[in-house]
Amino acid sequence: MGLFENIKNFFTPSSNSKIVKLYVQDKKCGNKMRVVLRKGYDIQRIYKDDVEGKYQISKVLVCDKCYNNIVIDVKFDKNYNVLDRSIENGKFITEEEFQNRN
């Protein structure tokens, strides 16, 4: 009976390696948001040799509470570790800070 083993294989681990999660807080109203980025879709490959980093994303986030525009710019290395990041109209927070909202 290999049935249960077969079923187990249908479930992928919860830490999906195809996505990168960032957490930001709106400076205007304090709203905390999770940003889910898809590798290869939202995050663009950097082809320039003179730029540090392999992947980059520039994105305008709209706060779902006050519609403030938050601009993020993040660079990643080849393993999607954050190398450099900047943000306007908000700040980056940790996952713990995001979970402790309310």
Contacts with Zn ion, residue ranges (CB under 5 A): 26, 28-29, 31, 63, 65-66, 68
Q: For residues 42 and 78, what is the distance between their CA atoms, to the nearest angstrom?
A: 15
Of 64 and 84, the one with the shorter C-beta distance to Zn ion is 64
Of 28 and 59, the one with the shorter C-beta distance to Zn ion is 28
Q: In 3-state terms, what secondary structure has residue 86?
A: strand
Of 52 and 64, the one with the shorter C-beta distance to Zn ion is 64
Q: How far is the CB of 64 from Zn ion (least distance, A)?
A: 8
Q: Provide the 10 A C-beta neighbour count for residue 47.
A: 7
